[in-house]
Structure 1
Amino acid sequence: MALINTEVKPFTATAFHNGSFVEVSDQDLRGKWSIVFFYPADFTFVCPTELGDLADHYADFTRLGVEIYSVSTDTHFTHKAWHETSDTIAKIQFPMIGDPSGEITRNFDAMREGQGLADRATFVIDPDGVIQLMEITSEGVGRNAAELLRKVKAAQYVREHPNEVCPAKWEEGDETLAPSLDLVGKI
Structure 2
Amino acid sequence: MSLINTQVQPFKAQAFRNGKFEEVTEKNLSDGKNWSVVIFMPAAFTFNCPTEIEDAAEHYPEFQKAGAEVFIVTTDTHFSHKVWHETSDAVGKAKFFLVGDPTHQLTRAFDVHIDEEGLALRGTFVIDPSGTIKTMEV
Compute the TM-score of the two structures, normalised by the length of structure 2: 0.97
Deviating above 2 A after TM superposition, structure 1's stretches of 4 or more consecutive aligned residues are: none
Q: Match of 2:4, SS?
A: coil
Which is helix-richer, 1 or 2?
Answer: 1
| Aligned-residue offset at 1:114 | 1.3
Q: Which structure has more RCO (C-alpha within 8 Å, separation ≥ 6)?
A: 2
User: For 1:100, which of 93, 98, 102 is the aligned residue?
Assistant: 102
Partner of 1:37: 39
Residue 78, structure 1, aligned to residue 59, structure 2: no
TM value normalised by structure 1? 0.72
Gapped regions of structure 1 (runs ≥ 5) = 137-187
State how far apart, in whole Å, the 2-side matches of 1:9 and 1:19 are.
Answer: 27
Q: How far apart are residue 78 of structure 1 and its match? A: 0.2
What is aligned with 1:173?
none
The structure whose Rg is larger is: 1
1:27 aligns with 2:27: yes
CA distance in 1, matches of 2:68, 2:102: 25
1:1-187 counterparts in 2 under 5 A? Answer: 1-30=1-30, 31=32, 32-136=34-138
Question: Residues 86-143 of structure 1, C-alpha deviation per residue, up to 9 Å, x if partnerless?
Answer: 100000000100000000110000101110000000000001100001011xxxxxxx
Distance in structure 2 (CA, Å) of the matches to 1:98 and 1:86: 17
Shift of 1:21: 0.5
Aligned identity (percent) is: 55
